[in-house]
Structure 1
Amino acid sequence: MNEDPSAKLMQIEERFVDSIAENMRAYGISPTVGRVLGIIYMNRNAMTLDELSQATGMSKTRMSQVVREMVDVNIAEKVFEKGVRKDIYDVEQDYYQTFISLFTSNWEKIIKKNRLLGKKLSAELAILLENEAINAEIEAKINELLIETKKWLDYYDWLNRLVAFFDSGEVFRHVPKSE
């Protein structure tokens, strides 16, 4: 096995990056975002948009969009480095925290959207109940939907508490990290 160790190491790092990129699909995140996450992670240092563009072959404009998406889901952050005038981005080096950030950011958006919808539907149904033109059958259907909407809101309340459980780190008391 006379393979160049440096080339083999680069090949292994690339497989890590590919795996991270593919795993992002499970979180509803594009493999492109995962690829950039993996590149910064494997670099072990923060990187500029220029460095990321060069490493990925993507335009600086596209790289800026990808990094903004990463910041939005809390898996990357802009960092300050004395003497550097360009924007520099770094990623969380802890796999567990990355999971929590991805899990919670996705669910927080879904929870907010569905809670608003549930409240809006409840209000609309309550107004319908006040209408004197409804018959017993329609009133029964409205009441069924009000009950269903309550279950809906209870479910999203539970999900919100689950997200808070992960966000707080309390989950690690019940499912400890591997050492």
Structure 2
Amino acid sequence: MEGHPLSEIQESNNWKKYEETKEQFIQVIAKNMSLYGITSSVGRLYGVLFFENDPMTLDDMRDALEMSKTSMSTGVRALSDMKMVESTFKKGIRKDLYKSEEDWYKSFTSLFGNRWRHHTETNIEEADEAIDELVKIRESTSSEELKGKIDFDIERLRYAQNYYKWLMKFIQVIESGEIFKLIPKNVNE
């Protein structure tokens, strides 16, 4: 039946397949967000915002995801802190509107930098404290065996410190955008 419009049943099936396809990708986004310490429900929220052409209110999000407004607010705040969602303004609408950040590269660099910087700084502090404590123990012991173990452990901790210092440089390369000189962004191919 070339040239004839599709039957209502065929159109209905097309719409259903369309929604299922989007939902599958939203599930993938939600699942992969755990890599960044984001719950799957917040990942689903991001996925819904990603596919939405127009900014959404918390009420819109609540209706789309069947979650509480409080959960939506918490999720939007978390996504906003990670620069994955931004608030926007639309004339005539008094409620807060949100849309997904269109630049995934920007989101990644911000999210990666924030998460890794925090953990790396913590690890550096812990290594420093462990070395300080081991030095005190070494100075107060007469056991050559314990001194030997402490010396070995201090060397291991210094190795860890060097790694963390390198990691901080790597994080800086990500946060500054220098990474894109080494690995350019893919544009629509």
TM superposition score category, shorter chain reference: 0.7 to 0.9
1:161 equivalent in structure 2: 169
Equivalent position of 2:143 in the other structure: 135
Question: Is 2:81 aligned against 1:72?
Answer: yes
1:59 aligns with 2:44: no
Distance apart, 1:96 and its partner CA: 2.3
1:140 and 1:129 mapped to 2: Cα distance?
Answer: 9
Match of 1:108 among 113, 117, 133: 117
Q: Is the 8 A contact 2:131 2:157 kept in 1?
A: yes
CA distance in 2, matches of 1:74, 1:154: 30
Deviations 1:45-66 (A, max 9, x none): 4322222111111001111222
CA contact (8 A) 1:48 1:88 kept: yes
Contact 2:117 2:171 in 1 (8 A): yes
Alignment check: 8 A CA contact 1:73 1:102 kept: yes
Q: Distance in 2 between matches of 1:171 and 1:111?
A: 19
- State how many pairs are aligned: 178
User: Which amino acid counterpart does residue 42 of structure 2 have in structure 1?
Assistant: V
SS in 1 for 2:11: coil
Return closer, same or farther for 1:79/1:136 CA change in 2, 3 Å cut-off.
Answer: farther
Identity of aligned residues (%): 35
1:1-179 superposed matches below 5 A:
2-4=10-12, 5-80=14-89, 84-131=93-140, 133-179=141-187
Question: Is the Cα–Cα contact under 8 Å of residues 82 and 107 in structure 2 kept in the other structure?
Answer: no
Q: Please report how far the alpha carbon of residue 83 of structure 1 lies from its aligned counterpart in structure 2 after TM superposition.
A: 5.5
Whole-angstrom distance in 1 between the partners of 2:155 and 2:33: 36
1:89-119 deviation line (CA, Å, top 9, x unaligned): 3321122223323322321221122112111
Distance of 1:45 and 1:124 partners within structure 2: 56
Alpha-carbon distance, 1:6 to partner: 4.4
Structure number with bigger Rg: 2
- Aligned residue in 1 for 2:3: none
Structure 2 letter corresponding to 1:17 = I
What CA RMSD, in Å, does the superposition of the two structures yield over aligned residues? 2.3
Letter in 2 for 1:103: F
TM-score with structure 1 setting the length: 0.85
Distance 1:46 1:58 in 2: 18
Matched-pair contact (CA < 8 Å) for 2:54–2:99:
yes
Distance across 1 between alignment mates of 2:92 and 2:124: 46
